[in-house]
Amino acid sequence: MTFAVSVAALHKRYPNVHALRGIDLDIHQGEFFGLLGPNGAGKSTLINVLAGLVKPSSGSAAVLGHDVQRDYRAARLSLGVVPQELLYDPFFRVREMLLLQAGYFGLGRSSHAWVDELMERLHLSDKAEASLQSLSGGMKRRVLIAQALVHRPPVIVLDEPTAGVDVALRQGLWQLTRELHREGHTIILTTHYLEEAESLCDRIAVLAKGSIAALDRQSALIARHPWRIAQLSLTHEQALPAALQVHVLRRDARRVLLRVARSADAEAHLCALVQQVGLADLALQIREPTLEEVFIELLDASARAAEVTA
Ligand code: ADP
């Protein structure tokens, strides 16, 4: 089986930072994959290795079976990275830049029809002759996407595509991304908006300090999480007794979120504690954690583990 992306024992050491610490990761063709992690986790370094922009210190990486170093051209042709910023001369016009980009990939006149279709799908057609510098932030973002898709790459990486983007463009972006996914493209998404990852991605890797802290389907990540979340609604801003205090995850005014272990006993114990302080069972609702809650705890756990080994 050929993976869309296959990374094995990948390390990247910068002079002062060990940015990737032995990454093993296979992404299937046709997956919608989320690559999550806080700033500095190594996401961009990993993407740049896949794009051939950063040389690994050791280990290997391949896109659709093409090694990113030995078989750079084929790997690069298989991958489209939507970067965060335009790398082109601001005086270029939109269509002109896209055709130039197609030429860079060795595509000739045959690419013109696709470039025009791409501009159509991204609602860029009426900006075809506009200079890049005259575009609004949202329009620039569309151009970045078109630029990454010019060579119809089977594997598409979207690096923080919705950072600083308004709601309408964000929805347009997700519609296009879903279409591309339906058409068979593999999508790899990095985002800080966990609700986006939650609604779009099949599997998720959480990167922390250059290592994979978790990798699974999001439903499995949530189900494997040791805690469920109990939400307690108070009638007024009362203090909680110490027995309940130890369970508190977050509190804002009258809404308290508590951790509860995944067992009937633990839930019954919590209900009893809540009753003891004179709060009816009705005020307590127990639910699964959101992806964001799992993510935050995973990062805390990985930070604690790093402190122990430091
Ligand atoms: P992320 O994309 O998850 O925010 P990065 O891959 O950008 O993380 O960074 C991972 C680590 O590598 C950070 O500590 C960052 O400072 C460091 N780093 C990234 N690029 C370079 C570079 N060119 N030279 C030195 N250190 C770098």
What pLDDT, on a 0 to 100 scale, did the predictor assign at position 91? 86
What is the C-alpha to C-alpha distance for residues 82 and 44, in angstroms, rounded to an integer? 12
Instruction: Give the mean model confidence (pLDDT) for residues 210-239.
Output: 89
37 CA to middle of ligand 1, Å? 12
* pLDDT tens profile 40-99: 999 999 999 999 999 999 999 999 999 999 999 999 999 999 887 767 778 899 999 999
Cβ–ligand 1 contact at 163 (below 6 Å): no
What is the C-alpha to C-alpha distance for residues 96 and 98, in angstroms, rounded to an integer? 6
If you average pLDDT over every residue of the chain, what do you get? Answer: 90
Instruction: Give the pLDDT band (50/70/90) at residue 140.
Output: confident
What pLDDT, on a 0 to 100 scale, did the predictor assign at position 281? 64
What pLDDT, on a 0 to 100 scale, did the predictor assign at position 310? 62
Cβ–ligand 1 contact at 289 (below 6 Å): no
What are the two backbone dihedrals, phi and then psi, of residue 217, each rounded to the nearest 5 degrees?
-65, 145
43 CA to middle of ligand 1, Å? 8
What pLDDT, on a 0 to 100 scale, did the predictor assign at position 309? 66
Rounded to whole angstroms, what are the CA distances from 11 to 14, 22, 43?
Answer: 10, 5, 13
Sequence-distant (≥ 6) Cβ neighbours of residue 52 within 8 angstroms: 68, 69, 72, 75, 76
Residue 254, CB-side half-sphere exposure with 13 Å CA sphere: 7
**To test ligand 1's pocket by mutation, which of 11, 13, 17 has the most ligand atoms within 8 angstroms of CB?**
17
Nearest CA to ligand 1 atom 12: 19
- Return the ligand 1 atom nearest residue 45 CA: 6
- Return the ligand 1 atom nearest residue 48 CA: 6
Task: Kindly state the tokens that stand for 46.
Answer: 């990993």
Instruction: Give the mean model confidence (pLDDT) for residues 202-207.
Output: 94
